[in-house]
A and B are shown apart, each in its own frame.
Chain A
Amino acid sequence: MAEKTNHQETILPLTEASFYILLSLSAGRRHGYAIMKDVETLSAARVSLSTGTLYGALGRMLDQAWIGRVDEPDEVDGRQRKAYVLTDLGRRILSAETARLQSLVAAAQARLAGEVA
């Protein structure tokens, strides 16, 4: 349990870009452009990923096995498209980060509501 906690502590907190990418993939496989558009939607246009930022993050997450890369069944303009899927590890990390953010929000709401002296 201590090892798991220590490992999470070295990974979390996630950057906003990483969090939104994992969140986007939690709904199912997506290709790069779909991830880009979905992140904009999820963040209410607050986070707008450039291709460099997006693929830098995707490359890092592939190395860390948070996501996987699969071939799309259809070709577009003669090009084989790649899609990305969330792995079990990526899903656990997304859950851990979500829980961390929820605890932050809960603490802030409790303090602001005056429940804690």
Chain B
Amino acid sequence: MSAFTRSALGFYGRLLRLYPSVFQDQFASEMAFVFDLALADAAHRSAPAVLALLLKELADLPGALLVAHLRQRRKQGAPGPIPGSSGEARLLRWAARVVSLPVSGFLLSALLLSEDFRQAPTLPGVAAVVLCLIMLAGWRWEGPGGRMTLLGGPLFFLTILGYNLVVGRASLATILVGLVMALPFILVGWLFVSAAALEGAYAQVQALPSPEQIPGRRALIVRLALVALAGLLFLVLQFVGFFTTVGSNSVGGP
């Protein structure tokens, strides 16, 4: 066995350790054996064949790791985007995600692409960026991300209000803008927390209850309606330029 082959096998063995431990127990020795055979076969053909083999393994590695880790999480019954999870939890989860995307997308792009904000970031603006990132983290960590987003909404409103009081621009309009800005975060956080709670409850029950047995079905509809309304209101106000006139003043823009 040449030095290069030993190095390649050693490197491949280290890459195998990136897979979940259960996957390694099941397949690692086989994969190393198959790689050994493939490497020997390629070396027998030509140097470019060896290079092509190595590049193919490296190129496919990220996707293979993702699939293996997701498969492992599904088998462990981890919360999150699991196929077959309760319908209601899924609905709440996706409602939260659908609203979180345009809200965070608009705020992050408006702030981070603003030359003025980048040169002189204001406290409400920074708070908005942080809260958007926390809200997006709720896609992965529904419970903690949802709770932090839910609590962050009122804090964000107080930040906007406090900032405008300090700079002497407090008015009814700034209060209204603060409420409109904070409301989507409160509702998205509420949805993420609800989805996580429902998912946990169903995991314990081990069987989906009938629709009549699901508590708070009306509350579910009310939540969805509220968040849809808040999201729509938020977007309408942004698009008619409310943010760029009164709103930008409220969060400390030019």
Binding site for B on A (CB under 8 A): 32-33, 36, 48, 50-56, 58-60, 63, 76, 79, 81-82
Q: Measured between alpha carbons, how far is A48 from B246 in the docked complex, in Å?
A: 58
Q: Out of A51, A56, A81, A82, which one reaches B67, CB within 8 Å?
A: A56
User: What is the interface size of chain B, counting residues whose CB is below 8 A from a CB of the partner?
Assistant: 23
| Cβ-based interface call for B64 (8 A) | yes
Binding site for A on B (CB under 8 A): 23, 26-27, 29-31, 33-35, 37-38, 56-57, 59-61, 63-65, 67-68, 71, 75
Number of A-B contacts (CB under 8 A): 58
CB contacts (< 8 Å) of A56 on chain B: these are 64, 67-68, 71
Flag if B23 contacts A52 (CB, 8 Å). no
Q: Are A50 and B56 within 8 A (Cβ)?
A: yes
What CA separation (Å) do A79 and B60 show in the bound complex?
26
Given the known inter-chain contacts A33-B38, A79-B33, please indicate yes or no for A55 contacting B71, CB distance below 8 A. no
Whole-angstrom CA separation of A81 from B36 in the bound complex: 14
> In the complex, A53 Cα to B38 Cα: how many Å?
14
Contact assessment for B71 and A52 in the assembled complex, using a CB-CB cutoff below 8 Å: no
Contact of A55 (CB < 8 Å), options: B31, B37, B38, B75: B31
Q: Which of A52, A59, A60, A81 contacts B33 (CB 8 A)?
A: A81
User: Which residues of B sit under 8 angstroms from A54, Cβ to Cβ?
Assistant: 34
Neighbouring A residues of B31 by C-beta, 8 Å: 32, 51-52, 55
Taking a contact as CB atoms under 8 Å apart, the answer to whether B64 and A32 are in contact is no
> B63 near A32 (CB under 8 angstroms)?
no
Q: Is the CB of A33 within 8 A of B37?
A: yes
Contact between A53 and B60 (Cβ–Cβ < 8 Å)? Answer: yes
Query: In the complex, what distance in Å separates the CA atom of A79 from the CA atom of B31?
Result: 12
